[in-house]
């Protein structure tokens, strides 16, 4: 199986230094996606579990993760990684002035475990044109400027 991630080159402005020229950065381009059915089929081929059992376990895992995160628990999936709720909030001048209403958004933070972290260290990278250039639709990503040399 290929361990190659494709990327396109995009220009990004530093919003803190608006007068500075844009710099060019790599932006990962997905090569596709893999869903629950495909994952369950792959797992079935790799071990003695049927794909229906894999789907059942993964759906139950999803429910347990939602429940745990909703209770403020850290969900640890062994070597895969750790999931934890993170919050976005408005600051208050004093700790005693901070109220729950200052909190505006919850999100899921993921910290990869050693298996995923090590896998990222062995990837190869290959440059491709942007999706807009591939489609020829002239679309863009907001204020991200496509690299004309890609």
Predicted confidence (pLDDT) at residue 27 exceeds the cutoff of 60? yes
d(CA 21, CA 12): 9
User: What CATH number does the domain containing 136 carry?
Assistant: 4.10.520.10
- Where in the sequence is the domain holding 102, given as residue range(s)? 4-146
Give the pLDDT confidence of 99-108 residue by residue, as tens digits. 999 999 999 9
Close Cβ partners of 22 (under 8 Å, ≥ 6 residues apart): 11, 12, 13, 145
Q: How far is CA 139 from the centre of its chain?
A: 23
Q: Are 23 and 30 in contact (CB under 8 A)?
A: no
**Averaged pLDDT for residues 70-88:** 97
Which residue matches tokens 């919850």?
106
- Report the domain count for the chain: 1
One DSSP character per residue, 11-31 reads EE--TTSTTSPPEEEEEEE--
Of 131, 134, 135, 129, nearest to 147 by C-alpha is 129
What pLDDT sits at residue 146?
54
What is the pTM assigned to this prediction?
0.73
């Amino acid at each position: 199986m290929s361990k190659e991630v494709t990327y396109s080159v995009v220009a990004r402005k530093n919003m803190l230094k608006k007068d500075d020229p844009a710099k060019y950065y790599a932006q990962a381009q997905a090569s596709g996606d893999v869903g629950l059915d495909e994952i369950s089929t792959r797992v079935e081929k790799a071990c003695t579990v049927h794909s229906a059992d894999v789907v059942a376990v993964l759906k139950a895992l999803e429910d347990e993760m939602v429940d745990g995160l909703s209770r403020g628990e850290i969900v640890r999936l062994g070597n895969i990684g750790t999931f934890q709720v993170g919050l976005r909030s408005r600051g208050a001048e004093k700790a005693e002035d901070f109220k729950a209403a200052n909190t505006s958004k919850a999100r899921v933070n993921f910290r990869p475990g050693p298996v995923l972290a090590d896998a990222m260290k062995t990837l190869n990278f290959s440059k491709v044109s942007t999706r807009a250039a591939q489609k020829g639709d002239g679309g863009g990503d907001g204020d991200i400027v496509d690299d004309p040399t890609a």
